[in-house]
Structure 1
Amino acid sequence: MKTDMNGNVEHQQKNVLAVGAHPDDIEIGCAGTIARHIRNNDNVFILVMTDPFYTYHDGRVLRSSEEGRLETANGARILGARLIHLDFEEKNVPYSSVTVEAINKLVDDYNIEIIYTHWYHDTHQDHMRTTQSVLSAGRYVPNILMYEPEYPAGRSHIGFRNQYYVDITDTFELKMEALAQHRSQVNKYGDGFFEAVEARARHRGYEIRSKYAECFEIVRLKGNI
C-alpha cells in the first residue's frame, strides 16, 4: 500500500477483465462497476465469448453479427473499455480446453488481477459454461466476483448470494447509456427491460443506503490488511 505526501492512500492501477457470454451481459451485470474502475484509471478489458449472431428456435434472426458487433463496440466505447471477441457460437459456448486456454492467455497477456463474470448457477447454458471456463482459466487470479443474473437467466434452484456491493450512483447513467446501445435486446424485451435494470440497481442501492448499486457473489477476494 502506497501513500502520497499527505498520508493519503494512493490508488494502485489494476488490470480488470469483465467477461460476458453475449454482447449486452456486461452492461446489465456490472457496467457501473466497470465505469468506476475506468474512472480510477484501471485498465479494463471487456471479453465477449460469442459471435453476436442470434436466432430464435424457429430460425428468425434477432440480431445479425454486424448489428451485434456495432452495439457491443458502442457500449464498450461509452464505458471506455477495450473490447475483445472470442467468437464462439451463440448458445453453444463450450466448457473445454479451448475456452479455458483462450481466457487463460488473456489473463496472462494482460496480467489480470480482477475478473467479473456470470453467476455460476445461471440457467443460461452459455453463461454457466463461460463461468466454468473463467474459474479454470483464472485459477491464479486473486479476485473473482460473479455479477447478479438478470431475468430470465437467473431463475435457478439456488439463490444468488448478494455478498459484495459497489455504489454506482455516480456511474449509473453511463451504465444505462451503454446498455441502450443494444437496441436488439430492447426490441426483444421491450422498454420494461430498462425499468427492470434500474429497479434492481435502486433496490441494491437501498440495501447499502445509496441511490444505485451493483451486487456480486464472491469466488475470491484478496484483502489488504
Structure 2
Amino acid sequence: MSADSTEPLDVIAVGAHPDDVEVGLGGTIAKMCRQGYRVGIVDLTDGEPTPRCPSPEVRLAEAQAAAEILGVQFRMVLDLPNRKLFDTYEARIKLASVLRRYRPRLVIGIFGKTPMASPDHWQASQITDAAVFYARLSKWDSEFDGHPVHTVERQLWYALSLNTPAKLEDGAFVSDISDTLEIKMEALRAYKTQFPVTKERIFRMVQAHAHFYGSPAGFLAGELLIAPSLIGVRDVVETVCGPREVKKQDPIMPDGELPQST
C-alpha cells in the first residue's frame, strides 16, 4: 500500500481527517476493493491533536492499519492543518495535484456540513469539489508539480454526520454494504485512540445508520451516497428490482412425463 506508485486508480475517497472515510464510506470502499477496483484514500490533515492520541505518528499508524483492513491500494495524508482547515487556493492545488497524479475515474468527498462535529468537514467538501475542477484545467501544469491535465469522470459525496437526523437529498442512493459492514467496523476499531471503550456508542450509531439506510433499499446494511449530477440507467427494471431470479425447471420428458422423484 504505497503512495509512490504512479499507476492510475479507479477511485479516490477524500476525508478531512483519518477515520472520516471509514465512518462514512468504509463499507463501500471495502466492497470496491473486493470487486477488483483500485482505490485510494486521501486525508487532508493528520487529524491531530486529539485528547487521547499521544502523537500524530500513532494516529497515522492507526490509519494505515485501517486502510489495510479495507484493502485499499494506497493512503496519503496531506500536510494541511487540522482544526484550521480552510478552502484555500493552496489546499485546492495540493489535492488537485494528487488527482492529476493518480488519475481516478471517480472521486468521492464529504457531503455538506456536519453540525456539532468538526467544521473541517465542510471545508474538505469544498476543497474536494474545487480540486476536481482544477484537475482538468489546461495550460496550468506548472501549478501541479508538472502533472498533466486529468478529467475526473464522476464525482460523488458520502454522508458523514452521525449527530443529525438522516434525510434523503436530491441525487441520493444507497450502496449495499451487507457483506462488508463487519469489515467497516473492524477498520473503525483500528482507531484505538479515537474510539476507546468509553465511546462504544459511536459503533452503535454507525451500525444504526447502516441499517437505517440499507433496510428501505432491501439491504441488510447500506451507506448513503449523493450524486451531484444525473446518473443514467441502462436497465431500469434490474436497477430498481435487482437481477431476475433464474428458477430451476424440471427437465422435459417424453410424452410430457415428469421425472420420478428419488
Report TM bin, short chain: 0.7 to 0.9
| Bigger mean CA offset, 27-36 vs 143-152 | 143-152
Distance 1:92 1:160 in 2: 30
1:49 paired to 2:65: no
Change (3 A) 1:186 1:106: same
What SS is found at the alignment partner of 2:193? helix
Match in the other structure for 2:68:
77
Q: Give the conservation status (yes or no) of the 8 Å contact 1:166–1:215.
A: yes
Confirm whether residue 142 of structure 1 aligns to residue 134 of structure 2: no
- How far residue 122 of structure 1 moved from its aligned partner, in angstroms, is 2.8
Whether the aligned pair in 2 keeps the contact of 1:74 and 1:181 (CA below 8 Å) is: yes
TM-score w.r.t. structure 1 length? 0.83
Q: Which runs of 4+ in 1 moved over 4 A?
A: none
> Are 1:28 and 1:150, in contact at CA under 8 Å, matched by a contact in 2?
no
Residue 161 of structure 1 is matched in structure 2 by 169
Bigger Cα displacement from structure 2, 77-86 vs 183-192: 183-192
Q: 2:192 maps to what in 1?
A: 183
Distance in 1 between residues matched to 2:44 and 2:52, nearest whole Å: 18
Contiguous gaps of at least 5 residues in structure 2: 1-7, 134-150, 235-262
Number of matched pairs = 205
1:210 matched to which residue of 2?
Answer: 219
% identity of equivalent residues:
28
- Rg larger for: 2
Q: What stretches of structure 1 of length at least 5 have no aligned partner?
A: 1-12, 56-60
Pairwise CA RMSD: 2.2
Asked if structure 1 preserves the Cα contact closer than 8 Å seen for 2:9 and 2:102, the reply is: no
Structure 2 CA distance for aligned equivalents of residues 113 and 29 of structure 1? 20
What is aligned with 1:62?
Answer: 52
Q: TM-score, normalised by structure 2?
A: 0.72
Q: Distance in 1 between matches of 2:123 and 2:157?
A: 13
**Distance in 2 separating the partners of 1:70 and 1:169:** 28
Partner of 2:24: 29
Q: Secondary structure at the match of 2:157?
A: strand
Structure 2 partner of 1:3: none
Structure 1 residue 160: Cα displacement: 5.6
Matched, 1:194 2:203: yes
* Cα shift at 1:211: 0.3
